[in-house]
Structures are given as structure tokens and as C-alpha cells.
Amino acid sequence: MSLERGRPRSFNEEAVLDAALQVFWRHGFQSASLSELTKATKLNKPSLYGAFGDKKSLYLKVLQRYLNMLVESHGAELDTEKDSKKAIEGYLRSIARMLTSPVLPGGCFIITGTADIGGTIVPKEIEEALKEALNGSEAILAERLHEAQRKGDLPESADPERLAKLFFTLIAGLAVQAKSGAEEDKLNSIIQTAMTAWPGR
């Protein structure tokens, strides 16, 4: 074993992933350059790839970090609010707040990433991971809407799966709006209108 391999890392792994997250969030996998990644992380290529693997491996680690952030940031809205309609609306507004945060790149990391799907440069593993992330986000909504129906917050005639698709499509649209410069108030106005689709009892 070489001395280099046994030498402890002189950087904070989470801080490096957060820096790489900003780059990939802004540009997606395909357009994020190595020079931007090394500049943002303050690591040269050998150190960056030595710690996290190649660009693909780094992106996948960053994607997982983003998903964990989503759960921590927005999941409480679905778990703590007893009224199901308020829970879904709170979840959407929490996401709108993130999408328009001035300290973040704007829009949604996942939605930005899916723009690369189908490209010749994007590895299959990344396409699959992004699709899985999209399906997982919709599944979270569907699970909460099924719970709402069991509690009586949704009528039996309602279709939780279709509602989940509606709200997930709304999130994707909000992400595009935010990426184009829409502010939080505008997104919240769209959310308020969309919540009128909630089925009455």
C-alpha cells in the first residue's frame, strides 16, 4: 500500500460534495466541466477522482446527497401535518421555497439532470438513477395521498395515483419556472390554484 493511499484526507468530504452539487445542479451532468468541479471543490483532478471516483461516480454520490436533503427539508411537511390537504400544500410550498432560494442554483437538481437523458454522453447508470429519483418523488406523494384516503381526507372516488402524478407534474413545472427566474410568490400562487384540484368529500 502506498503512502498516498494511507494518508488521511485533508478535506471535508461533505463540503466537497456540496460544492460539486452546486455545479451539477446548475449545469447537469453533461455540461458540468472538470475545470468547474475542481474550482468549486478546491481539489485537483487526481484528488477529486481519487476520493470519489470518476465524474459519473461523483455525480451519483451528489445525487444521493440531494435526495437526502430533499427528505430532510420537505419530508416533515408530509409527516407532521395531520390535515392531508395542508400537508401536501405545505410540501409543495417547501419545495417552492427551495427552488427559488437565492443561495441555491435555482430550479431542481433532478429536473435539470433529466434534460440530459437520452444524450450520448450520459452514462446509463445516471439515466437510471435520475429516473428512479423521479419515480421515488412521485411515490412519496402517492403514499401520502393513499394515507389521506384511508383517513377520510380524500373521498373513495378519488384516485391517489392520478393525483400524485398531477402534483408531481406541478413540481416539475415549478422547477422550470424557477430556473427561468420566477420568484417564490409566483410559485405559491400556482400552488394555491393547483390545490383547487383536491377532490371534495
pLDDT in tens, the chain (201 residues): 344 454 456 678 999 999 999 999 999 999 999 999 999 999 999 999 999 999 999 999 999 999 988 777 888 888 889 999 999 999 999 999 999 999 999 999 999 998 878 766 889 999 999 999 999 999 999 999 999 999 999 999 999 999 999 999 999 999 999 999 999 999 999 999 999 999 986
Residue pointed to by grid coordinates 445525487: 63
Cβ neighbours, 10 Å, residue 40: 18
86: three-class secondary structure by DSSP: helix
pTM of the model: 0.87
Closest Cα partner for 175 from 99, 117, 115, 93? 99
Which domain, by its residues, includes 40? 11-196
Residue 6 domain flag: no
Coarse DSSP helix, strand, coil percentages of the chain, rounded to the nearest 5 percent: 75, 0, 25
Residue 38 and residue 48 in contact, taking contact as beta carbons nearer than 8 Å: yes
In a domain, 201, yes or no: no
How many domains does the structure of the chain reveal?
1
Report the CATH number that the domain containing residue 152 is assigned in CATH. Answer: 1.10.357.10
- Check if the beta carbon of residue 59 is closer than 8 Å to that of residue 21: no
Domain assignment of residue 3, yes or no: no
Q: What is the rounded distance in angstroms from the CA atom of residue 27 to the CA atom of residue 39?
A: 15
